[in-house]
Amino acid sequence: MAAAASSTFPAPCHHLPQLHQNHTKSLSSLFKPKSRTTNFSIRPLSISPKASLSDPFVLQIAETLEDSNSSSSLKQSPILQKLRESSSESILSLSWPTRKDEPFRFTDTSFIKNSQISSISPDPESTLIDFESDGDDDTQTPNIVIVDGQIVSSLSKLDELPDNVYVGSVLGIDSDEIREKVMKFVSNFEDKDLFWSLNGIGAPDVTIVFVPSDCFVEKPLLFRFYSHETSEIGSSNLPMSNPRVLVLVEKGGEVGIVEEYLGGAEDKCYWVNSVMEVLIGEGGKVSHTYVQQQAPSAAHFKWTSVRQESSSTYKLVEVSSGGKLSRHNLQIQQVGPDTITELSTFHICVRDQTQDLHSKLILDHPRGVAEQRHKCIAAHPRSQVVFDGNIKVNRLAQQTDAAQLSRTLLLEDSATVNMMPNLQIIANDVSCSHGATVCDVDDDQLFYLLTRGIDLATARKSLIFAFGTEVMSRLPCDSLQKKVERHIQRLLDPTPS
pLDDT tens digits, 342-399: 999 999 999 999 999 999 999 999 999 999 999 999 999 999 999 999 999 999 999 9
- Note the pLDDT of residue 358: 97
- Note the pLDDT of residue 265: 73
CA 309, CA 48: separation in Å to the nearest integer? 42
| pLDDT for 39 beyond 70 | no
355 in a domain, yes or no? yes
| pLDDT for 261 beyond 50 | yes
CA 149, CA 126: separation in Å to the nearest integer? 13
Mean pLDDT of 403-430: 94
Mean pLDDT of 316-325: 97
Mean pLDDT of 441-451: 94
| Same domain, yes or no: 352 and 449 | no
Q: How many domains does the chain have?
A: 2
120/47: higher pLDDT: 120
- Note the pLDDT of residue 48: 41
Low-confidence winner among 181-190, 335-344, 368-377, 459-468 (lowest mean pLDDT): 181-190
pLDDT confidence of 134, banded at 50, 70, 90?
Answer: low
- Residue that terminates a domain, selected from 421, 441, 461: 441
- Let me know: does 323 contact 351? Beta carbons within 8 Å: no
| Same domain, yes or no: 188 and 298 | yes
| Same domain, yes or no: 484 and 387 | no
pLDDT confidence of 188, banded at 50, 70, 90?
Answer: confident
| pLDDT for 405 beyond 70 | yes
| pLDDT for 110 beyond 50 | yes
| Same domain, yes or no: 211 and 141 | yes
Q: Is residue 459 within a helix (H) or strand (E), and if so which, with residue range?
A: helix 456-472
Mean pLDDT of 93-121: 92
Mean pLDDT of 160-184: 92
CA 443, CA 441: separation in Å to the nearest integer? 6
| pLDDT for 415 beyond 50 | yes
10 in a domain, yes or no? no
CA 343, CA 374: separation in Å to the nearest integer? 8
| pLDDT for 282 beyond 70 | yes
| pLDDT for 235 beyond 90 | no
21 in a domain, yes or no? no
407 in a domain, yes or no? yes
CB contact set of 177 (below 8 Å; sequence gap of 6+): none
CA 116, CA 174: separation in Å to the nearest integer? 39
Other CB atoms within 10 Å distance of the CB of residue 139: 8
CA 231, CA 107: separation in Å to the nearest integer? 23
Give CA angle at 485 (129, 386), nearest 5°: 90
- Let me know: does 296 contact 322? Beta carbons within 8 Å: yes
| pLDDT for 127 beyond 60 | no
| Same domain, yes or no: 467 and 363 | no
| Same domain, yes or no: 408 and 437 | yes
- Let me know: does 78 contact 178? Beta carbons within 8 Å: no
* Enclosing domain of residue 336: 98-441
Task: Provide the b/e sequence for 306-330 (b: ≥16 CB within 10 Å).
Answer: bbbbbbbbbbbbbbbbbbbbbbbbb
Mean pLDDT of 294-322: 97
- Residue that terminates a domain, selected from 441, 458, 475: 441
| Same domain, yes or no: 371 and 488 | no
pLDDT tens digits, 189-204: 777 899 999 999 999 9
| Same domain, yes or no: 201 and 310 | yes
| Same domain, yes or no: 164 and 254 | yes
| Same domain, yes or no: 196 and 246 | yes
> Does the bond joining 33 to the residue before it have cis omega, within 30 degrees of 0?
yes
For the CA atoms of 158, 81, 72, 202, the dihedral, rounded to the nearest 10 degrees, stands at: -80
- Note the pLDDT of residue 466: 95
Dihedral sign of CA atoms 457, 459, 464, 465 in order: positive
| Same domain, yes or no: 351 and 495 | no
Mean pLDDT of 412-439: 93
Task: Provide the b/e sequence for 339-369 (b: ≥16 CB within 10 Å).
Answer: bbbbbbbbbbbbeebbbbbbbbbbbbbbbbb
pLDDT confidence of 133, banded at 50, 70, 90?
Answer: low
| pLDDT for 13 beyond 80 | no
132 in a domain, yes or no? yes
163/165: higher pLDDT: 165
| Same domain, yes or no: 377 and 258 | yes
- How far apart, in Å, are the Cα atoms of 457 and each of 305, 359, 497? 42, 35, 11
190 in a domain, yes or no? yes
CA 211, CA 255: separation in Å to the nearest integer? 8
- Note the pLDDT of residue 190: 75
| pLDDT for 37 beyond 70 | no
- Residue that terminates a domain, selected from 441, 466, 485: 441
- Note the pLDDT of residue 243: 96
Task: Provide the b/e sequence for 60-78 (b: ≥16 CB within 10 Å).
Answer: bbbbbbbbbbeeeeeeebe
| pLDDT for 36 beyond 60 | no
pLDDT tens digits, 76-92: 788 998 999 889 888 88
pLDDT confidence of 106, banded at 50, 70, 90?
Answer: very high
137 in a domain, yes or no? yes
**Amino acid symbol at 177:** E
| pLDDT for 46 beyond 50 | no
| pLDDT for 107 beyond 60 | yes
Give CA angle at 50 (46, 54), nearest 5°: 75
39 in a domain, yes or no? no
Identify which of 408, 413, 382 has the alpha carbon closest to the alpha carbon of residue 464.
408
- In the chain, the percentage of residues whose pLDDT exceeds 90 is 71
Roughly what angle, to the nearest 10 degrees, separates helices 78-91 and 176-185?
0
- Note the pLDDT of residue 109: 95
305/133: higher pLDDT: 305
CA 3, CA 282: separation in Å to the nearest integer? 10
Mean pLDDT of 285-311: 97
- In the chain, the percentage of residues whose pLDDT exceeds 70 is 84
- Note the pLDDT of residue 68: 82
- Note the pLDDT of residue 123: 59
Count CA atoms within 13 Å of residue 274 on its CB side.
32
Mean pLDDT of the chain: 86
Per-residue DSSP letter, 170:
G
